């Protein structure tokens, strides 16, 4: 559902809360790798990670998402403005 909702997005704002998948089936949160996979499947043009857990290093999360997306990924910053 998320992939279809985001299909062709100019900017895909996606959460990356989990350090690893909690369980199989429907979940409410994604890992950074899954966020990148969803972005790639949706053919998003840019990806902005948000809602990164305190358990995760933001640089590591960005790298994981970038690798699965196949392109650079940004991490949202408080107060930043993003043009679409």
pTM across the whole model: 0.91
CA-based nearest residue to 49, from 80, 79, 13 = 13
**Averaged pLDDT of the chain:** 94
Q: What is the pLDDT along the chain (84 residues), one digit of tens a residue?
A: 999 999 999 999 999 999 888 777 777 899 999 999 999 999 999 999 999 998 899 999 999 999 999 999 999 999 999 999
Q: Phi/psi of residue 13, each to 5°?
A: -90, 115
Separation of alpha carbons 31 and 53, rounded Å: 10
Contact between residue 47 and residue 33 where contact means Cβ atoms under 8 Å apart: no
Q: Which residues contact residue 63 at a Cβ distance below 8 angstroms, ignoring those fewer than 6 apart?
A: none
């Amino acid at each position: 559902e998320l992939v279809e909702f985001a299909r062709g997005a100019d900017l895909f704002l996606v959460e990356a809360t989990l350090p690893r998948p909690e369980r199989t089936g429907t979940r409410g949160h994604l890992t950074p790798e899954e966020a990148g996979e969803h972005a790639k499947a949706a053919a998003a043009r840019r990806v902005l990670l948000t809602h990164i857990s305190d358990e995760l290093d933001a640089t590591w999360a960005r790298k994981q998402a970038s690798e699965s997306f196949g392109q650079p990924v940004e991490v949202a910053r408080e107060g930043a403005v993003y043009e679409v």
